[in-house]
Amino acid sequence: MNKASTKSNSSKRIKISGRTRALYEARDKRQDNLDPDAPVKPPEFWEGAKIGKFYRPLKSQISFRIDNDVLEWLKSKGEGHLTRINEILRERMKSEQSRHERT
């Protein structure tokens, strides 16, 4: 039996802007060590960090019918056809949500 994949395509790398660096330099440094459990790190520390690396949305197991030609097309792209279905639906959901926000 294959081990379930924990890969996620939702993570994004952080790019530190010049404005962020300027705000870091202009901060009130007296507040840096108020919470020892949350130390202040310079922007360079976060350069290239990943957002959402460990985020896994809750999922529901469902059953649905799909046309054979669509299923064959999804499977022809390689492993992960169920993940691809989810990604396609998520893209469509985000597209519709952004359209409704603009109106």
| Predicted confidence band of residue 11 (pLDDT cuts 50, 70, 90) | low
Instruction: Give the pLDDT confidence score for residue 9 in this predicted structure.
Output: 54
Is the pLDDT assigned to residue 10 strictly greater than 60?
A: no
The more confidently predicted of residues 36 and 68 is 68
Residues β-bridged to residue 12: 51
| Predicted confidence band of residue 7 (pLDDT cuts 50, 70, 90) | low
Tokens representing residue 94 in the block: 């985000």
pLDDT tens per residue, range 61-96 = 999 999 999 999 999 999 999 999 999 999 999 999
At residue 75, what are phi and psi to the nearest 5 degrees? -70, -30
- Residue ranges of alpha helices (H) inside 13-59 are 18-25, 43-46
pTM attached to this predicted model: 0.49
Which whole number is the average pLDDT over 38-46? 88
Residue type, 24: Y
Residue pair 47/53 in contact (Cβ under 8 Å)? The answer is no
Instruction: Give the pLDDT confidence score for residue 1 in this predicted structure.
Output: 45
Residue type, 7: K
